[in-house]
Structure 1
């Protein structure tokens, strides 16, 4: 974590400013703790990544295997004890997301050369230099690292600690990542000049995400893509959107859609699942602004 990121991060329980305790640092903070003095919440910084979950034990409950891995990575005794206590409070849940998140991190690594990303980079090039940029569902940081080349400060947010460990291998002094739920107020009332949400509407209730992002932009651009593949079984969102309803709701939230993306698009997004299997999506792109 960059020490400068402290200016933007807020307690996800009460939105108060946080105090930073550093256990180990080099160019950035390798191990540490973010503490809220108002509600006594604590957020660990592990392997350069702040885990901004309202309950660390709850985060590990769905990733018990990851919890053991994290415990083995920690060097500082205070942080290790915090992790140990958190693991002892983990509730037994059959669904462990660790292997799934590891698998998808590898898939994104293997798919970095997909034409989808080059298309997106060209689509974003027109946006003038921004002070503050945020990407939802940044995963291994393909787009965030690109954005950091031309914007002042860029943040990526994702639920996968595994993916962000890969993203953090590339150091830039204007690029940082946070493990957090998309709808948590991890950045408080900060306003962003550019927000990306690429292919994430299946992971969170779409209208809630659009409403939340709308409040994060006073004047700026919002770029969103999606293949509208909402079939996730019991994990499916309750109110999916399609090409038309997504555009209609963006306009309701005060966004003006760029003329070139008013009609649905079909951008190929190829994902290499393994040496013998590929997954191809036709992705819709919308560029809009306030």
Structure 2
């Protein structure tokens, strides 16, 4: 049975989940997920998620009720030094928060079709900057990210946005009118990400990514440039609309503690549609 539109489902079996106190529980398989500061934490392997995030586990335990706290405590690594991912995520959350006024976010909305009245799923929403702009433009927004430190910042500023801590690759959900991803193609394998987005987009997909540098051992194994992305989308049945491939160069300043990196965001904004769809037309801007 297909998951209803706009609904986030159980990671284990894709059935419905219901909120009971400070837990989300699957109505079919009985899987349980903690809810921390109002954010469902939907990782099938919570112990594996926290293995390199000791500080994140501590943060969660300070911000949830008894049942959720017991579940998090049972999944915590014994060694407080197991925190390489947690420290990195806190650092990047602070960096993105400092760049929250970047004009590139507004530019993407200005060139993409209107979102007012649509349901929107944002993969990699981080601290919620773009999610809030989508909401302000009239969308009903669900933001997904694997970084709980970033989501906790986002939730404090957007109480009418649904945030979910989950892995975009394994997220189970229904269809959304629009599916968005910014700055994700160098973090998640592009074909996996684009496939997941397209499979949940009832109308269109928006993709933008200015990064072109290596992330060491976390760099994706199958990077794709703009030409490859367009070719892959065409292979999935999308048509790229003419006149939307010229890059946009937008200053973006992000502060890394006592220094600052100032770069130009280069984006190819593309609009594409899948033939034969009228009432449920699917489009893509990237």
- Whether these two folds match at TM > 0.5 is yes
Instruction: Bin the TM-score by the shorter chain.
Output: 0.7 to 0.9
Deviation at 1:180, TM superposition (A): 0.5
C-alpha distance 216-7 of structure 1, shift in aligned 2 (>3 A) = closer
Q: State the partner residue of 1:210.
A: 194
Counterparts of 1:93 and 1:11, CA distance in 2: 31
TM score, norm. by length of structure 1: 0.84
Match of 2:132 among 122, 145, 158: 145
Q: State the partner residue of 1:27.
A: none
| Counterparts of residues 75-224 of structure 1 (less than 5 Å) | 76-87=65-76, 94=82, 96-124=84-112, 126-173=113-160, 175-187=161-173, 190-218=174-202, 220-224=203-207
Task: Report if the CA contact (8 A) 1:228-1:242 is conserved.
Answer: no
Task: Report if the CA contact (8 A) 2:127-2:154 is conserved.
Answer: yes
| Counterparts of residues 12-31 of structure 1 (less than 5 Å) | 12-22=11-21
User: What secondary structure is seen at the aligned counterpart in 2 of 1:181?
Assistant: coil
User: What secondary structure is seen at the aligned counterpart in 1 of 2:175?
Assistant: coil
C-alpha distance 230-93 of structure 1, shift in aligned 2 (>3 A) = farther
User: What secondary structure is seen at the aligned counterpart in 1 of 2:121?
Assistant: strand
- How many residues matched? 270
C-alpha distance 172-182 of structure 1, shift in aligned 2 (>3 A) = same
Task: Report if the CA contact (8 A) 2:53-2:82 is conserved.
Answer: no
Residues 167-224 of structure 1 deviation map (CA, whole Å, 9 limit, x = unaligned): 1112443x2111110111331xx21211111111111100111111111123x12111
User: What secondary structure is seen at the aligned counterpart in 2 of 1:144?
Assistant: helix
Deviation at 1:11, TM superposition (A): 0.5
* Unmatched runs of 5 consecutive residues or more in structure 2: 274-281
Task: Report if the CA contact (8 A) 1:61-1:91 is conserved.
Answer: no
Counterparts of 2:250 and 2:270, CA distance in 1: 14
Match of 2:41 among 26, 39, 51: 51
Q: State the partner residue of 1:285.
A: 268
Residues 41-64 of structure 1 deviation map (CA, whole Å, 9 limit, x = unaligned): 111100111111011111111201
C-alpha distance 246-267 of structure 1, shift in aligned 2 (>3 A) = farther
Counterparts of 1:151 and 1:113, CA distance in 2: 19
The two structures, once aligned, show a CA RMSD in angstroms of 2.4
Deviation at 1:135, TM superposition (A): 0.9
1:69 has 2:81 as partner: no
Deviation at 1:279, TM superposition (A): 4.2
Deviation at 1:251, TM superposition (A): 1.4
Task: Report if the CA contact (8 A) 2:177-2:201 is conserved.
Answer: yes
C-alpha distance 110-238 of structure 1, shift in aligned 2 (>3 A) = same
Counterparts of 1:86 and 1:95, CA distance in 2: 14
Counterparts of 2:5 and 2:175, CA distance in 1: 16
Counterparts of 1:44 and 1:209, CA distance in 2: 25
Q: State the partner residue of 2:278.
A: none
Counterparts of 2:266 and 2:60, CA distance in 1: 35
Deviation at 1:130, TM superposition (A): 3.9
